[in-house]
Chains A and B, each alone.
Chain A
Amino acid sequence: MINLRDQQFDPLEELNIFQKNLPAGKYGACCNFIGSMRDFNDGNDVSKMTLEYYPGMTEKFLETICDEAKEKWPLLDCLIIHRVGEIDPSDSIVLTAAWSAHRDASFAACRYLIEELKHRAPFWKKENTVNGDRWVSENTPSDQ
């Protein structure tokens, strides 16, 4: 399932709610990634951020990424929740999670979901700093 949110969300609560709807006894592993907003970036304090997206294409790409993960690994299900609009420091920006019978598939799929999202899904961050607003030009590499 994929979901865009224009309000704060609690990723742990979302995981619990989603997991309760999975078939009991069939999953043995759940890996998740939670991305939160920092109050610093590139040497500046960041007081607020706006996340723009492409309505239609963004949802489509998140669905595609979930479908690809399910084709690559034996998953019971996967979940992506992503914020849009105005965001404050410490707010959760993104949650990716994958459920499987065993841990290997769950670890690999969760990583795949967040890396593909960062590389392909049309979202754009604009930061508010003491020096004014600025667009984030690119995501940090996956090894940082």
Chain B
Amino acid sequence: MNITVKFFASLREQIGKSDETVSSDTALSVLHVWQQASGLDSMPENTLCAINMEYVDAQTMVNDNDEVAFFPPVTGG
């Protein structure tokens, strides 16, 4: 299973990269993807998660070829 991972805004700067690929032979939740892609155990408070551009929570399971994104609270407008 291959997962594309994206980080945005302050999270991108904290982690030091905008893109990552995670490969796994076992089922992964969004939190597991975070841990493997960022190298950190826990997400910063208020981190938002998306799978294939839809908001999800950290316990949601991912599928092969999913795009998982992590970003801070949105501040547009």
Chain A: residues with CB nearer than 8 A to chain B?
35, 51-54, 56-57, 60, 82, 93-94, 114, 117-126, 135-139
Contacts and interface: CB of A to CB of B under 8 A. Distances in A.
Contacts of A118: 74-77
Contacts of B27: none
A117 B10 CA distance: 20
A94 B76 contact: yes
Given A54-B8, A57-B50, A137 B76 contact: no
* Main SS class of interface, A: mixed
B74 A123 contact: yes
Q: 4 tightest CB-CB pairs across the interface, nearest first?
A: A123-B76, A124-B9, A57-B53, A118-B77
Nearest to A58: B76
Contact of A138 (B6, B69, B71, B73): B73
A122 B74 contact: yes
A51 to B, nearest CB: 7
Nearest to A52: B9
A124 B77 contact: no
B72 A123 contact: no
Contacts of B76: 51, 53, 82, 94, 117-118, 121-125, 139
A57 B9 CA distance: 14
A122 B71 contact: yes
A117 B75 CA distance: 9
Given A122-B71, A122-B76, A139-B75, 9 more contacts: A52-B9, A54-B53, A57-B53, A117-B77, A120-B55, A123-B74, A124-B9, A135-B10, A139-B74
Contacts of A123: 74-77
Nearest to B73: A138
A120 B74 contact: yes
B68 to A, nearest CB: 12
Contacts of B50: 54, 57, 122
